[in-house]
Amino acid sequence: MSPGTDPIDPAAAPAGPTDAAAAPAGPPEVAGAPVGPPDEAGAPARPPDAAGAPAAPPEVAGAPAGPPDVAGAPAGPPDVAGAPAGAGDAPVAADRAVKRRRLLELLDERGADRLLLTSATALSWYLDGARVHVSLAGDPIAAVVVGREGDEWRVFANEADRLLAEELPHDPAATLTRVPWHEPLAADLPGALREPDVSAELRAARASLLPGELARYRALCREVAEVLTDAAAAAHPEQSERDVAATLAAGLAARGIDPLVTLVAGRSRLVHRHPLPTAAPIGDRAMLVVCGRRHGLIANATRWLRFGAADPAEADAERRILEVEAAFLDATVPGAALGDAFAAGIAAYRASGFAADEWRNHHQGGAAGYAGRDPRAVPGIADRVQPGQPFAWNPTAPGAKVEDTVLVGPDGVDPLTVDPRWPTTRVAGRIRPITLQL
């Protein structure tokens, strides 16, 4: 045992030293000791997210949220004061074992003994949804060294107790190192692989969602769609873009979802593809875009609303952009090269009556999951589509865009960001969203 470290007795000791300032900065607390205290049944003690808010609404999974009432009132977030935590909230030991095995295979392939994970994307995936950030724009406050004999979790000392109590999964084989907040998390690791060395392999390792991840992702995507419906149904032409964005962000936060992206463009700003909201009123037509993160997973979706009669040219562009999306989705099949799916999608612009080079005016999306795009598709990219992998294509043209998060399933592409209250049409055999007419 190293000087200054004590064994953690899960039955009697707290999750970590109560005096974070006085905690030793150096060696792991106990080699092989659990990193988080189990509850009586041996499962990790994890309080509910967002001050008691459930990770998923209490209604039956897959059941419609129900239409808005006559006044357009939203279905609303669950009762955060007393609703039970969602079943998908806790880490899944079987999922974590598969993830560790995948990385050990990567070490074997590279002839290495250690791999250092430092990005929010890799850490949230490997730690089964742990929140490893403080600021949404800041660096992670933890790092993981994946080793053959077990993992070392390096965390800033001033954050360690909270992470142990609220975020990190129970792992009897892992050790914890408390690092002073003013020192690097992982500066001295000679010979260890680092993420840039194996970026493509790491993307492949996390591409197919495991059962626990998929349950969490389905709930997240459904709730993101519901938040978009709620905000759109409550909007009015005089409302500012910022007010609509605030409604979106509040709806996400009430459900324990980080609002990573909330874009709103009203009539006067529809020319912009990434419209950060302004004080301008939305007018008679608006586009709403959300990227929401929970348990490390990110759901992406875009919705349109209109007040009054549709302009025929705009309605035609909306129809044709759905045809472009169908080409992307048709080509997104297990085993296909991502670059080939991308090529099929961009070829559809000309076939659907748009300029052949329209795709150059905005990125087209790509694989999804623990990053907004993991990766973003570009010409010739070699990543392969995997079964159980999420995608979010977002073809766009002037005044037209479509975006949903979908899953590559056994029977084709399965849209996940779905709210039964939203109007839809059928394109290439799939239910797709259309503009909400108010």
What is the count of structural domains for the chain? 2
In a domain, 430, yes or no: yes
Could you tell me if 200 and 218 lie in one domain? no
Could you tell me if 40 and 96 lie in one domain? yes
Could you tell me if 186 and 269 lie in one domain? no
CATH number reported for the structural domain that contains residue 31 in this entry: 3.40.350
Q: Is the peptide bond before 375 cis (omega within 30 degrees of 0)?
A: yes
Please give the average per-residue pLDDT across 36-49, as a whole number: 36
In a domain, 57, yes or no: no
In a domain, 294, yes or no: yes
Which tokens belong to 356? 């052949």
CATH number reported for the structural domain that contains residue 236 in this entry: 3.90.230.10
Could you tell me if 108 and 197 lie in one domain? yes
H helices of 30-186, in order, are 49-52, 93-110, 120-126, 157-166
Could you tell me if 419 and 365 lie in one domain? yes
Could you tell me if 100 and 243 lie in one domain? no
In a domain, 52, yes or no: no
Could you tell me if 153 and 250 lie in one domain? no
Rounded to whole angstroms, how far apart are CA atoms 4 and 30?
11
In this model, does residue 84 exceed pLDDT 50?
Answer: no
Rounded to whole angstroms, how far apart are CA atoms 20 and 179?
11
**E strands present in 175-325:** 175-179, 193-194, 258-265, 285-294, 297-306
Could you tell me if 199 and 215 lie in one domain? no
Rounded to whole angstroms, how far apart are CA atoms 135 and 116?
22
Strand partners of residue 300: 291
Could you tell me if 342 and 365 lie in one domain? yes
pLDDT of residue 9: 31
H helices of 136-240, in order, are 157-166, 199-205, 211-234
The range of the structural domain enclosing residue 197 comes to 20-46+89-205
The distance from CA 183 to its chain's CA centroid, rounded to whole angstroms, is: 29
Reported as a single tens digit per residue, the pLDDT across 173-212 is 899 999 999 999 988 788 899 999 999 999 999 999 999 9
Could you tell me if 267 and 185 lie in one domain? no
Reported as a single tens digit per residue, the pLDDT across 129-142 is 999 999 999 999 99
